[in-house]
Chain A
Amino acid sequence: MTKAYISGTGCISPQNSIDGEWFFDTINPAKGDFFDALEPSYKEYIAPNLLRRMGRAIKMGVAAANLAINQAEAKKVDAIITGTGLGCFEDSERFLLAMLDNDEQFLTPTSFIQSTHNTVGSQIALIMKCHDYNFTYVHRGFSFESTLQDAMMLFEEGKDTILVGGIEEHTPNFVILNRRAGKFQNQNTAIPIWKSTTEGIQMSEGASFFVLDKIKTEKSLARVDGIQTLYKPKTSQDILMKLHAFLKLHELSLADVDVTLMGFSGDVVFDEKLKELLPIIEKESTAASFKHLCGEYHTASAFAMWVATKLIEKQKLPKTVAISDKTPSKIKHVLIINQYLGINYSFTLLSQC
């Protein structure tokens, strides 16, 4: 079975994840009912003549990709695969608003050109002068998972190094409309996200990129063993059954998993099945959470993979991430169980290499 070795990561999130030294010590809370990404000074990562045309999703994506490539010291990649639920939302909005405001006259090309979902992948390719495979998955809550599945298949076809990433941005209008639709909630910070009893999520944004290699190198930080997606599972027992089968495929049981990162979103309805699974996970493994750090968005699982890589690299589970009181003696295997709006579920298994 094909594996992928992570040799570089880059992450822009509501936390200080862009700082290579940060390890979940100081945590930025949400701004009421949503999170904003903590964005760096992009001049350090992107040339000014390119920067002026880029929306926030593109800037976040290009900067995160840049960080990952630099850490991996990758001179070239054989493929660039991105995943996004909403794409370059800011430019789409700008273009559509200009159509409305100017009565469909005087439409400028820049925001239209930059509004497509694959703009991030194409900008990275232009900067890297990568004329090879370039693909963007827009599969809602499976967008990032699809990039990993594609990368695994490309490794089987002979590619050696692949850049994958998940990107999402929100805009003030997007926040206002979702708030009006009742999608958000102000989380009571006194209650952990996995104990929430109310409906609503904290919408967020961010970009996480990874350089994946087909073979282990001295740069390898962690290994992606496998990924599986589940669409609308009926019960938590269905999820558990599939999880046991997934782990068995990798010759593991739940007891072998040192840390299980669970995608609790804070919405009591969407989180119902994960809540039912939590006691089983806590009994066999050590449960942890990540959406109280990054919020909810289509590609939050990319942030989870960044967290998993850090845990394996540092061999430590910080209290700010843990759900269980247990402290794992080692972190050899990390499992991510994500859910998006109670529809898209996925398992991603990472291991020490």
Chain B
Amino acid sequence: MIQNNPVGRLIAHVILIIGILIVAFPIYYTFVASTQTLQEILRPPLSLLPGGHFWENYSAALFGGVGRIGGVGVDRLLFNTLVMALGIAIGKICISILSAYAIVFFRFPGRMVFFWLIFITLMLPVEVRILPTYKIMVDLGLIDTYTGLILPLMASATATLLFRQFFMTIPGELVEAARVDGAGPWRFFKDILLPLSKTNIAALFVILFIYGWTQYLWPLLMTNRNDMSTIVIGLRKMISFADADTEWHLVMVTCILAILPPIVVVVLMQRWFVRGLVETEK
């Protein structure tokens, strides 16, 4: 609906701006707090303008080591989380695109059985199977390892189903044309299927990266050592029950740092992401 009425436009803009303010203000406030000293934060009211301790706080958090999490720097937490989020996103995409490829384009005995097995796992998210999964990880000695963090979260029915749906929209004639052109299964996958799934892969990557980045329960169980923590866990550990015991300025810095990578991923892949969700290029 396009309106040329200036009053209508004004009202629309006002509403949008209010909405943005409501969403953005807490983030801005966190940023403001991250540039103050601990004393300034603890002495209300907090100023609405950034303070003068930006470099000090950020370098302290990033490279100085934070006392409450055993002297590990936030840089280490960021790295851990990045490895985990990338591992989950890339691993999930690889596994699900391959299994969807098998289910859609190959006729093998038990094809539907496998499809339903994958489908059923939708009903068993990590939280439901957390104890047996934990036991397996302990038995395999994978506590405090990246493998332990990534592997159980990698198998994904959602992504498989998404790719399956997309593959099923690829016309049979295209597959046949490729066969006539002498493209074997691998060539077909590499030359035709992958390029066609580009936008879907990008969209999934964004979603899965954020999913991996914000994981809480699983890393909480899997990591004991402070230097293997993810940023969300680290953040939790940094907050003490006693207000004065918490280094709030560093907590605020960590919050801002934790938000940044997902934002970067979304901004960089936005174009692909939206296209992947809106249209399927055929």
Do A and B truly interact? no
